[in-house]
């Protein structure tokens, strides 16, 4: 009660506006410096997740992909939480490089004569 009253009388102010501004600046500068439009970053994020998901099951909630800066050099930081590793046979087959196993019916002498 007393503490509440005192706090109202002497507001402490937000102790972290300095931390806020640093956090916001770092994020915006990482993007400015990389000069990548958000659409490109989003496309990159999707593709990275797609590739990784072929091998392991990811926790969608816990994935985080961001750009970070250190001494004027930009880095792409991907933090992907793995739920479980997919067993060998469950690995999603890449549609482009999947072996083509379709066959055509072999032509026999029988069917030729029937056509007549």
Interacting residue ranges for another protein, rule: CB under 8 A: 3, 6-7, 10, 12-19, 21-22, 24-26, 28-29, 32-33, 71-72
How near is the Cβ of 8 to another protein at its closest, in Å?
11
Q: Which is nearer to another protein, 18 or 88 (CB)?
A: 18
Distance in Å, CB of 29 to another protein, minimum: 5
Looking at the chain, list the stretches that DSSP marks H as alpha helix, in order from N- to C-terminal side.
2-9, 17-34, 38-53, 109-115
Which CB, 71 or 114, lies closer to another protein? 71
CA distance 32 to 44: 17
**Around 91, how many Cα atoms within 13 Å sit in the side-chain half-sphere?**
10
């Amino acid at each position: 009660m007393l503490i509440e009253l005192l706090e109202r009388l002497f507001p402490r102010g937000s102790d972290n506006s300095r931390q806020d501004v640093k956090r916001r600046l770092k994020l915006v500068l990482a993007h400015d410096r990389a000069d990548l439009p958000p659409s490109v970053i989003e496309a990159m994020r999707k593709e990275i997740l797609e590739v990784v998901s072929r091998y392991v099951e990811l926790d969608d909630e816990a994935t985080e992909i961001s750009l970070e800066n250190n001494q004027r050099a930009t880095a792409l930081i991907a933090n992907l939480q793995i739920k479980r590793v997919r067993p060998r046979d469950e690995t999603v087959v890449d549609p482009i490089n999947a072996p083509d196993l379709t066959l055509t019916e072999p032509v026999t002498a029988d069917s030729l004569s029937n056509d007549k």
